[in-house]
Amino acid sequence: MCASAKYNTRGPALIPRMKTKHRIYYITLFSIVLLGLIATGMFQFWPHSIESSSDWTVEKRSVHDVPVVKLPAESPIPERGDLSCRMHTCFDVYRCGFNPKNKIKVYIYSLKKYVDEYGMLVSNTISREYNELLTAISDSDFYTDDVNRACLFVPSIDVLNQNTLRVKETAQALAQLSRWDRGTNHLLFNMLPGGPPDYNTALDVPRDRALLAGGGFSTWTYRQGYDVSIPVYSPLSVEVELPERRPGASVVIPEEKMPEMYSILQSIPQRQIEEMQRQARWFWEAYFRSMKAIALATLQIINDRIYPYAAMSYEEWNDPPAVKWSSVSNPLFLPLIPPQSQGFTAIVLTYDRVESLFRVITEVSKVPSLSKLLVVWNNQNKNPPEDSLWPKIRVPLKVVKTTENKLSNRFFPYDEIETEAVLAIDDDIIMLTSDELQFGYEVWREFPDRLVGYPGRLHLWDHEMNKWKYESEWTNEVSMVLTGAAFYHKYFNYLYTYKMPGDIKNWVDAHMNCEDIAMNFLVANVTGKAVIKVTPRKKFKCPECTAIDGLSLDQTHMVERSECINKFASVFGTMPLKVVEHRADPVLYKDDFPEKLKSFPNIGSL
Amino acid sequence: MQARGRYLLAGLAACLLAGLYLRPGRRRAAAASPPEPEPEPRRGSALAAGPAEAGGGRRARGGAGPAGGRCRMETCFDFSRCRRHGFRVYVYPARGRLSEPQRRVLRSLRGSRFYTPEPGRACLLVLPLERGPRSPDAPARPPHWNGGRNHLLFSLHRDGPLGFEPGQALLAQAGPGAPGFRPRFDVSLPLFPRRLPQRGGARAGPFPAPRRYLLVFEGQRSPSGLGAQTRAALHNGRDLLLLTACRPGPGARCDRPAAAADDARYDSQELMQNSSFCLVPWGRRLGFFRFLEALQAACIPVLLSNGWELPFSEVIDWNKAAIIGDERLLLQIPSITRSIDHDRVLALRQQTQFLWETYFSSVEKIVLTTLEIIQDRIQAHISRNHVMWNAQPGGLYVLPQFSTSLADFPFYYCALGRSPAKEFTAVIQAASPLLSQSQPIVRLILAVAKSKYCTQIVVLWSCEKPPPPRSWWPSVPVPFSVVEGEHKTMSSRFFPYDLIRTDAVLSLDEDTVLSTNEVDFAFTVWCSFPERIVGYPARSHYWDSSKGWWAYTSKWTNEYSMVLTGAAFYHRYYHYLYTFYLPGSLHSMVDQMANCEDILMNFLVSAVTKLPPIKVTQKKQYKETMMQQGSKTSRWADPEHFAQRQACMNSFASWFGFMPLVHSQMRLDPVLFKDQVSILRKKYRDIERL
């Protein structure tokens, strides 16, 4: 076809070439006709798998002993399909009601054999495919045997293949169903619509308001948001209105662009072809492979329309399990830098080291952006000091008394926390300067979805022991920060308290250790991001030991922490921690520049 | 000749077989007539052996195609017009009086990168709708009308009803689901308020925190009917506030004037700011405005929207940002909103902010979104997918012509569960001839090639002299190539050359001095922030209130907002975005001054990510050499050069409509940088050595 245009440009050579061109056209035309005939012939004799046969035995719905219903010739016929139907006009939502599970109830009419006045069968008996479909529904959570509680009705009249049924009589059979009511809330499944001579793209059986789950809709017969487009369960797959939700698994090319199809297909990069193949295979496996999959997907689609606020998300529908597993959807996904003015709330967990606690309070209160200080009093045997004894500071100071001495109290989302930013700080961290803390808060504002902390730690794979190992040495890498001094978003308190996977929370409280590692795991797991360590390493007063410094205790401590990592990795089913080689310093840190002009001059000094 | 004939034959046969076997249903579809006869449309054109033009011509001769009401893109739109010149949009000159929104829409259309002043080259023709009564038969017959084919009409609320049959013209319309809405043909618009800015638009607020009220509604009700009942049933005065001012209508009196007085305590904006959910009733114009207001206030809209086509619903997944209820089940709304857990509320509220900022916060965004939706339909095989439209940074910044695969963009690594490949291409801009082997560029090539992540070095030769032979260049263990740009302009340094295949690009000036250690460290940092620019020397901006403009500074400051692209890592997609997203006017400005290309790149990336670039630590000598060496760097001291950069900043900011640059106060250093431990323990020890 492009050839003709090319020849025209050749000028003088045009006339002698015309003959060849004509010849080619004739040969082409002839071949097309011939091939067309062959193709049509093959198509006609191709075995259709939906062809129903009456001789197989249906296990659940035996066709031999079902009641026979005689349809008088003048019995009513439903209106033709109402093309203006939408869920809010033709569907009776009151039948579905509000229920905590947000699940529709589906009733299946009992099987009957329909005959006309002369005793002739209206349709072939139920096909194997339709039987599988009904079985799948009756085995599912959607099924109810109580017709009064049902929200959706599925007739046991098989209209999968229009060629196997008598249109008018089938319609009469539908109309006499006990709850038909113009087809409201009735669902019909059809895969091969139309018949000669029109080959309509939707089922020809008059169905009034009944929903149609059909294959091969065109966009004119498809009632958007009402009908459900399903695939045809057959090797001869027909797709016009593509089955619902179909990203990344097919290339849609307008028919007009047929001539360019080759170049379009060729232009798709290999990487994307592989993605599409994976996607297509997953769709097939999940939704199209069997009648069961098709039936359940259809019901889920209708369910999603009736309870849209509880609908499965696009990702749940479309992402293969492998992607769901590895992908991360950050709960704090909005890229923004929270305003400095809000400030942060410092939370100090304490037991009875009052003197040290007061020093921490005094130090932290010097930080300009501190807006509130919260002391979590974890000692049930002793009351916190009297009000008059506490240091006088410029911001509100609140003391929360806990009912049990648990480490997880540090991460409870107290109502008293009114800021987004939280600074968790131990009652013995007195070595951090005001500049360092303020700078940490500024860095948190740039990374509000991360843990931003001071002492960094690392996890390593121990090849000898074949398990994870905890490392606190001077390393070039960081994968955790200690929550003895760390900024993070209040939301993570909520996550820690209510959404911590497995028994980690109880385990931490029982062992009185590793709450910080658990928090690092949790945040890395939901955000897929690494921690930010700020400012150079300082000599912390053994931030993770309890009371006594000593080699043996230190070693037990390390062993215990390593065990935590292994335990958490197995609960999470993966190692979410990310290793990085950078830390954040003020822009002019250690630069040859007058100290008094630096925003944060007092960094790293002891 | 014979061979060609055979190919032709084979091709046709293949087409035919494909048509017959793969889509027999379509053949039926075309022949079918449900429920009224459909004009024999498109099948023929695909299979007819004629050239494409003939197909189009035949259709045009064949008459109008389907009646306007049954239009689909395939039947009422001439795709061949878009094939020749791409997606170009022409706007007819307006003769009559235009409404204010109509005028603002046209302004954005003319300013867009799709605009063409020649109707003959246009794929889409926009006809301004004039105010006042219109003739019922088509709008005064514009010269290329052709039954409305390939025309787009913006029918905005202040224009009044359309008043004529749009025929085959696409209708971008705000309003309740008009029965005539043609799915995937018409475009549903939001109703935008008068104070909506032309470009730019407000930035999103902080992360939404839990709010005081659960659900609010503020509006009017008639004394009888649904409004009054609703209020009575839902309002509890505690966390469910339905504040309706009673409006006496004909034959109806307000029986509870006290309620109205009660409600006066609340301010509607304040209510929305303090509520998690906002009720948006169906159909009324007020509802439409409320909808955008709620979105902006991060108040999750609860839509009772039976039959309402939500704005841009073709591409926007509203289930991620709104609660869509059935107005028949109004009384269930409190239990539904209470049943939505904290996590979901947080996600919904962030999504409202994302959608507002991306698609609705300015007239220009609304117009561009409309155009991009139509373009996606025309090029169905290179269109944006669901994720591109509904996740950061949104459809307007993701050009599917670059790639339709998420993996090729810098924004989706997390969502795909991947991390960037550990390789980069160094792109060195060379402007001066290569005279000696001790030139900085030679040292730079050697240092960069030593990085274990470097897989390719490309020199962009922008010197007037021809590039030297390969033997003059140092020998390196990675592929090395010299590209001579067609136009030796500033902008060509960001041209998306096919040669560059790695995701990461290290952009370098010829006189940049870097050690392998610094390159390696910066690259590992970039891998953690692949959507940002990661580089060494940084610059800052500030608002100079005395002069009333944006000021540029290269002084040492405690914060920065730009990183010079003379030494920076970024994703290769930004080359494409720089070249094809930005308008010709900004490119030519950069080319004429031979300056500011790095500022423009920083503007672009920050506009996309809404985040600052990242500065990594550098050896101290770098700055000194920058000031002394080379022809280009000496310009840093040149006051005119500086004034130009200042002027650039202000032009760029006015094109973007806002200042996209964001400040950062931190620099990333290696973990043990300058720590008191043996240098032998440090991985990046060269960075500390002088």
Whether A348 shows a pLDDT value over 90: the answer reads yes
Q: Which two tokens stand for residue A565?
A: 């990592």
Q: What is the pLDDT of residue A204?
A: 82
Whether B689 shows a pLDDT value over 70: the answer reads yes
**How far does the CA of residue B94 sit from the closest CA of chain A (Å)?**
33
Average pLDDT over residues A390-408: 94
Distance of alpha carbon B321 from its chain centroid, rounded?
18
Q: Which two tokens stand for residue B567?
A: 């030494």
Give the residue from A425, A375, A435, A430 showing the smallest Cα distance to A541.
A430
* List of chain A residues whose C-beta atoms are within 8 Å of the C-beta of residue B50: 1
Contact B386 A224 (CB under 8 A): no
**How far does the CA of residue B392 sit from the closest CA of chain A (Å)?**
8
Q: Which positions of B are catalytic?
A: 598
* Choice between A192 and A389, residue whose per-residue pLDDT is larger: A389
**Closest residue on chain B to A340 (Cα):** B206
Q: What is the pLDDT of residue B97?
A: 83
Whether B428 shows a pLDDT value over 80: the answer reads yes
* Choice between A126 and A9, residue whose per-residue pLDDT is larger: A126
* List of chain B residues whose C-beta atoms are within 8 Å of the C-beta of residue A80: 35
Q: What are phi and psi of B520, to 5 degrees?
A: -60, -45
Q: What is the pLDDT of residue B158?
A: 62
* Choice between B74 and A548, residue whose per-residue pLDDT is larger: B74
Residue from A306, A334, A345 whose CB has the most chain B CBs within 10 Å, to mutate? A334
Q: What average pLDDT does chain A have?
A: 82
Contact B24 A254 (CB under 8 A): no
Decide if A26 touches B, using CB distance below 8 A: no
d(CA B518, CA B568): 11
Q: Which of A260-264, A433-437, B75-79, B259-263 has the lowest mean pLDDT?
A: B259-263
Whether A258 shows a pLDDT value over 90: the answer reads no
Whether B643 shows a pLDDT value over 50: the answer reads yes
Q: How does DSSP classify residue A540?
A: -
For residue A374, the SS3 value is strand
**How far does the CA of residue B306 sit from the closest CA of chain A (Å)?**
6
Q: Which of A3-7, A390-394, B405-409, B471-475 has the lowest mean pLDDT?
A: A3-7
Q: Considering only the beta carbons, identify the residue of A5, A201, A536 that sits closest to B29.
A: A201
Q: Considering only the beta carbons, identify the residue of A476, A528, A585 that sits closest to B683.
A: A476
**How far does the CA of residue A334 sit from the closest CA of chain B (Å)?**
6
* List of chain A residues whose C-beta atoms are within 8 Å of the C-beta of residue B674: 536, 590
Whether A94 shows a pLDDT value over 50: the answer reads yes
A263 falls in which pLDDT band (50, 70, 90)? Answer: confident
Whether B671 shows a pLDDT value over 50: the answer reads yes
For residue B79, the SS3 value is coil
Whether A52 shows a pLDDT value over 70: the answer reads no
Is residue A366 classed exposed, middle or buried when 0-12, 13-18 and 19+ CB atoms within 10 A define those classes?
A: middle
d(CA B246, CA B254): 6
Contact B666 A40 (CB under 8 A): no
* List of chain B residues whose C-beta atoms are within 8 Å of the C-beta of residue A194: 28, 32
Average pLDDT over residues B162-178: 76
Decide if B23 touches A, using CB distance below 8 A: yes
Q: What angle do CA B528, B534, B539 make, to 5 degrees?
A: 145
Whose tokens are 């509870």? That residue is B256
d(CA A212, CA A194): 14
**How far does the CA of residue B683 sit from the closest CA of chain A (Å)?**
6
**How far does the CA of residue A330 sit from the closest CA of chain B (Å)?**
8
B654 falls in which pLDDT band (50, 70, 90)? Answer: very high
* List of chain B residues whose C-beta atoms are within 8 Å of the C-beta of residue A238: 23-26
State the CB neighbour count (10 A cutoff) for residue A74: 8
Whether B420 shows a pLDDT value over 90: the answer reads yes
Whether A158 shows a pLDDT value over 70: the answer reads yes
Decide if B35 touches A, using CB distance below 8 A: yes
**Closest residue on chain A to B351 (Cα):** A334
Q: What is the pLDDT of residue B133?
A: 60
Average pLDDT over residues B401-409: 91
Q: What is the pLDDT of residue A80?
A: 79
d(CA A349, CA A371): 17
Q: What is the pLDDT of residue B221?
A: 57
Whether A517 shows a pLDDT value over 90: the answer reads yes
State the CB neighbour count (10 A cutoff) for residue B464: 8
**Chain B 191-250, residues with CB within 8 Å of chain A CB atoms:** 203-207, 209
A307-333 pLDDT, tens digit each: 888 887 877 777 776 666 677 788 888
Whether B567 shows a pLDDT value over 70: the answer reads yes
Average pLDDT over residues B279-301: 77
State the CB neighbour count (10 A cutoff) for residue A119: 8
Whose tokens are 């309402």? That residue is B308
Decide if A584 touches B, using CB distance below 8 A: yes
Average pLDDT over residues A279-293: 78
Decide if B403 touches A, using CB distance below 8 A: yes
Give the residue from B1, B54, B53 showing the smallest Cα distance to A19.
B1
* List of chain B residues whose C-beta atoms are within 8 Å of the C-beta of residue A23: 5
Q: What average pLDDT does chain B have?
A: 80
Q: What is the pLDDT of residue B161?
A: 67
Average pLDDT over residues A363-385: 95
Q: What is the pLDDT of residue B49?
A: 31
* Choice between A31 and A478, residue whose per-residue pLDDT is larger: A478
Q: What is the pLDDT of residue B42?
A: 34
Q: What is the pLDDT of residue A17?
A: 53
Q: What is the pLDDT of residue A349?
A: 93
Identify any residues that bridge with B303 across adjacent strands, giving them in sequence order.
B280, B324
Q: What is the pLDDT of residue B219?
A: 66
C-alpha dihedral, A507 to A511 to A514 to A515, nearest 10°: 60
* List of chain A residues whose C-beta atoms are within 8 Å of the C-beta of residue B333: none
d(CA B300, CA B277): 5
Whether B646 shows a pLDDT value over 70: the answer reads yes
* Choice between A51 and B187, residue whose per-residue pLDDT is larger: B187
B635 falls in which pLDDT band (50, 70, 90)? Answer: low
Q: How does DSSP classify residue A286?
A: I
**Chain B 493-552, residues with CB within 8 Å of chain A CB atoms:** 521, 524-525, 528, 538
Residues with Cβ within 8 Å of residue B49, at least 6 apart in sequence = A1, A25, A28, B12
d(CA B399, CA B382): 9
Cα dihedral across residues A446, A451, A453, A457: positive or negative: negative
Q: Which of A44-58, A162-176, A206-220, B91-105 has the lowest mean pLDDT?
A: A44-58
Q: How many residues does chain A have?
A: 606
Give the residue from A301, A249, A247, A236 showing the smallest Cα distance to A275.
A249
Q: Considering only the beta carbons, identify the residue of A23, A259, A325 that sits closest to B52.
A: A259
Whether B533 shows a pLDDT value over 60: the answer reads yes
* List of chain A residues whose C-beta atoms are within 8 Å of the C-beta of residue B78: none
Decide if A559 touches B, using CB distance below 8 A: no
Q: Which two tokens stand for residue A439?
A: 């700078």
The interaxial angle of helices B2-22 and B24-31, nearest 10 deg, is 80
B39-83 pLDDT, tens digit each: 333 333 332 333 333 333 333 333 344 455 678 888 889 988 888
Decide if A335 touches B, using CB distance below 8 A: yes
Q: What angle do CA B353, B559, B203 make, to 5 degrees?
A: 15
Whether B458 shows a pLDDT value over 60: the answer reads yes
Whether A480 shows a pLDDT value over 90: the answer reads yes
Q: Strand pairing of B124-126 and B151-155?
A: parallel
Contact B28 A256 (CB under 8 A): no
A121 falls in which pLDDT band (50, 70, 90)? Answer: confident
Q: What is the pLDDT of residue A522?
A: 96
Whether B260 shows a pLDDT value over 80: the answer reads no
Decide if A574 touches B, using CB distance below 8 A: no
Residue from B4, B28, B401 whose CB has the most chain A CBs within 10 Å, to mutate? B28
Contacts across the A-B interface (CB distance below 8 Å):
348
Q: What is the pLDDT of residue B227?
A: 60
Contact B8 A328 (CB under 8 A): no
**How far does the CA of residue B481 sit from the closest CA of chain A (Å)?**
24
For residue B393, cis peptide bond before it (omega within 30 degrees of 0): yes
**Chain B 107-166, residues with CB within 8 Å of chain A CB atoms:** none
B342-382 pLDDT, tens digit each: 888 989 999 999 999 999 999 999 999 999 999 999 988 88
Residue from A26, A223, A309 whose CB has the most chain B CBs within 10 Å, to mutate? A309
Contact A216 B612 (CB under 8 A): no
Average pLDDT over residues A31-39: 75
Identify any residues that bridge with B189 across adjacent strands, giving them in sequence order.
B174
Whether B620 shows a pLDDT value over 70: the answer reads no
pTM of the model: 0.83
**Chain B 616-675, residues with CB within 8 Å of chain A CB atoms:** 616-617, 620, 662, 664-675
Whether A12 shows a pLDDT value over 50: the answer reads no
Whether B147 shows a pLDDT value over 50: the answer reads yes
Q: Considering only the beta carbons, identify the residue of B52, B405, B672 that sits closest to A476.
A: B672
Whose tokens are 């105010």? That residue is B131
Q: What is the pLDDT of residue A320?
A: 72
Most confident of A291-305, A485-499, B203-217, B673-687: A485-499
Q: What is the pLDDT of residue B209?
A: 66
Residues with Cβ within 8 Å of residue A173, at least 6 apart in sequence = A69, A71, A114, A122, A157
Contact B558 A587 (CB under 8 A): yes
* List of chain A residues whose C-beta atoms are within 8 Å of the C-beta of residue B418: 326
Contact B27 A309 (CB under 8 A): no
Cα dihedral across residues A81, A86, A89, A94: positive or negative: positive
Q: What are phi and psi of A7, to 5 degrees?
A: -60, -40
Q: What is the pLDDT of residue B122?
A: 93
* Choice between B138 and A412, residue whose per-residue pLDDT is larger: A412
Average pLDDT over residues A565-571: 95
**How far does the CA of residue A66 sit from the closest CA of chain B (Å)?**
35
Q: Which two tokens stand for residue A7?
A: 């020849």
Decide if B377 touches A, using CB distance below 8 A: no
The interaxial angle of helices B597-609 and B573-580, nearest 10 deg, is 110
Q: What is the pLDDT of residue B196?
A: 86
Average pLDDT over residues B224-238: 68
